[in-house]
Structure 1
Amino acid sequence: MSKQVSPGKRQQIVDTLAQRIRDGHYRLGEKLDGELRLAAEFDVSRGTVRQALNELQHQRLIATETGRGSFVIFDGHQLSQDRGWAQSLAATGSEITVAVLGVERVRRADVPLLPAEVRMDQGIAIRRVRILRSADDTAEPVSFECSTVPAEGRLAQLPETGLLRGSISQTLAQAGLSPTRGTQRADVHPLDEREAEILRRDAGTAFLRTARTSFTADGRFAEHVVSLLDPRHFTLALTFGDER
């Protein structure tokens, strides 16, 4: 027989964990206890715990990962998709700058590696390169990214208005598109002539290529980003299984 839990119990979990986060009980980037442990602590089902964690995510107090997931690591530092790579890279202490190469309207057929399930006739492509400045003041491109968002609402005017504070994640949030789920695939990609010129490498140089497609909680397409990542700095990690 399933256990019936009142909304007040769920709110108690939200309030307790939120207070622990604000009090510094959890360090920045540290994982909360797993769902099973939290369910045992509060004497509720895992479903109730999951609802509470979803509420904390909506409050932007946590970023949740369930079941299986992958994340990108830059020089040993995990990059957060939730708050955007710009903030994550800044937290690593590395001097990274971003150059926007272009913001333009594109047809669906022009978007590489876009899954068939994405419903989009026209999108806005934002092409950017990230540049790492070393201690000896040399600069080298370490990634080339093309993010495509739907050409709808405020986003349709991005070629004229530009990104909000230079951030795609903040621009999506302003447009009411907050990604909560998605897929990511990765392979090894030899740079073509154009990519090699942008990244200042020889054509054919092997780079890590990731394609990440994100959707909102109600299933709307939010963003598709294809990244070419320098394997000397970037790796891809996979997590799997339930927290115990």
Structure 2
Amino acid sequence: MDAWLVDLDRVDPTDISAHYPEGLTEDELRRGAEFVHARAAHRFYRARLTVRRLLAERLGVTASELRIHYDPAGKPYLPDQPGTHISWSRSDGLLLLGATETGPVGVDVELVRPSTTNLDVLTFVYPGVPASATPETFFHAWTLLEAAVKATGRGLTDGAREVDLDFGPDGAVTLRGISGHGPSRWHGRTELRPTHRDAPWAMTAFVSRDLAPVTVLPWPVPEHAREPVRAHAGGRPRRALLTPRG
């Protein structure tokens, strides 16, 4: 799997497309115009242009040739490249994009902002949250849950009940499986990553059939940071990362 983490506020439109916003579809222009605040609209435009640009580069086609469609549940797919599976997520000004040829994939990114209501929201969507869960549990569990229902294309309303999360005694959360979508096993990964925002950390999650590590690259890649960061795969998420030191 290939993945990119993009700070949409740090990407100039000319870095995304030579024609901004002419590179967008009519539907994307309409949706962007519905945002009340201009900053939110520009983030939406930049996200869609970035997705198209990165996928086109990966597939060896031009951005104008790349067609992105959506199934009835809203899951994106590439009608001209049916063997490539894609998913993306936005949190404020961050974009996480994943692409793979190994089967369905779901990704999610959430800026880590402490809130006393986070666990209440999680419990409402996923009643299996234990009473012993801590606020630190939320971001591992929520991103895994979101990524899982994106991978299956079911969405939270219909898909959350199919996801089986394991809540460890130390605040760790792992994906045990997803029911009703074939016998092959699903694998989940979470990782906390630094940002340049008011919330200095973001939780990322990936759910797919593939157990291999995920290489996540920032884009455009800074000259001083060419080494990829590998997502945590298989093992238990590290709770201590939610309170980084140094």
TM-score range, shorter chain: under 0.3
TM-score, normalised via structure 2 length: 0.25
TM-score, normalised via structure 1 length: 0.25
**Structure with larger Rg:** 1
